[in-house]
Amino acid sequence: MSIGHLLPDRMILISFLPLPLIFSTMLIGVYITASHQGLSCPGWPLCPNGFQFPIPKYFFENLHRLMVLITFIAIIAVTIHSIIKVNKARETSIAASSIISVQILLGILIINTKLNPLVVAAHLSIGVLLFGMMLITFLSYYNLEKYV
Ligand code: HEM
């Protein structure tokens, strides 16, 4: 279905982009948990190797945080666009921006509490909530034609 006369197709694509980004970030996070690497990088926001090329010891932690940064930028971009142009997606995208901010704080808390199980469980749940919120945002972009 094309809604090109309402929104450029690239905006629909951009509103979709956070979904694979969140999914991949979650997948890497689960891998970190399952392989017991959660405390391999004790610092925040950077691991001890700083901005240098990821070394094997911190590879997945570096990747998780890099993906978070890219995902954060993508979600903020969709939020700004929806505030300006897409009324229908405004609330859910603002909610997603707030949720990802909470998720980042929880990520810091995971490290500071040395993998407190409740915090890790909350981190997983908030990840699912974030995915759901961006899915609704994307569907609002995609289905815009039906509602206008
Ligand atoms: C978009 C933001 C984020 C998403 C969607 C996300 C998602 C996840 C998921 C799904 C897990 C696996 C949890 C489990 O297996 O129960 C995880 C693990 C983890 N995340 Fe994140 N995360 C995000 C941001 C962050 C940030 C900013 C940090 C900060 C350093 C962080 C640190 C960690 C750590 C250390 C683990 C491993 C926990 C363990 O070993 O049990 N996450 N993440």
The model carries a pTM of 0.92
* Residue with the larger pLDDT of the pair 118 and 1: 118
Distance of CA 18 from the midpoint of ligand 1 (Å)? 16
Q: Whose CA is nearest to atom 15 of ligand 1?
A: 30
Cα of 82 from ligand 1 centre, angstroms: 27
So what's the pLDDT on residue 2?
Answer: 46
What lies within 8 Å, CB to CB, of 48 at 6+ separation is 41, 42, 58
In ligand 1, the atom with minimum distance to the C-alpha of 126 is 5
Q: What is the pLDDT of residues 116-134, one digit of tens each?
A: 999 999 999 999 999 999 9
Please report, in angstroms and rounded to a whole number, the separation of the first and last CA atoms in the chain.
15
